[in-house]
Amino acid sequence: MRRVLLWIVGFLGAVLGLAMLALQMLGMSPTSLSANIAVGTGMGAKMACSGRFISGFDEAQIRDDLVSYSPAYEWIAITLDDKGRRATADLLGFSRTSATFRQGLGCTLDADANSPEYIGLLDRLDPPIAPQVAGQNFWPVGTQVAEPDADLVAALAQSMAQDLQQDLQTRALVLVQAGRIVAEAYAPGIAPDTPLMGWSQGKSLTALMLGWLEMRGQLSVTEENLFPVWANDLRAKIRIENLLQMSSGLDFAEVYAPGSDATRMLFMDPVASALPMQSALKHPQGSHFYYSSGTTNLLTLLFSERVGGPQNALNHLYRDILWPLGMRHTTLEPDASGVFVGSSNIYASARDWARLGQLFLQQGELNGVRIASRNYMQALAQPNASSNGAAYGYQVWLNRGGKVLRWPDLPADAYAFMGNRGQVVMIIPSLDTVMVRLGWSVKDYPRNARFAEWLRVLDAD
Q: What is the tens place of the pLDDT at every residue in 122-133?
A: 999 999 998 877
Q: pLDDT confidence of 12, banded at 50, 70, 90?
A: very low
Q: pLDDT confidence of 23, banded at 50, 70, 90?
A: very low
Give the orientation angle of helix 59-67 with respect to helix 33-53, to 10 degrees: 140
Q: What is the tens place of the pLDDT at every residue in 231-247?
A: 999 999 999 999 999 99
Q: What is the pLDDT of residue 278?
A: 97
Closest CA to 348 of 214, 154, 195: 195
**125 phi and psi, to 5 degrees?**
-80, 150
Domains and their CATH numbers in the chain: 18-104 (no CATH), 155-460 (3.40.710.10)
Phi-psi region of 3 (alpha: psi -120 to 50; beta: other; left: phi over 0): alpha
In this structure, the strands spanning 170-177 and 433-439 are antiparallel
Q: In angstroms, rounded to a whole number, what is the distance separating the alpha carbons of residues 245 and 454?
A: 29
Q: What is the tens place of the pLDDT at every residue in 171-220?
A: 999 999 999 999 999 999 999 999 999 999 999 999 999 999 999 999 99
Average predicted confidence (pLDDT) for the chain: 92
Q: What is the tens place of the pLDDT at every residue in 319-330?
A: 999 999 999 999
**Residue 10 C-alpha from the chain's centroid:** 48
Indicate the pTM of the whole model.
0.92
**The Cα angle at residue 406 between residues 405 and 408, in degrees rounded to 5:** 55
Residue 11, pLDDT > 50, answer: no
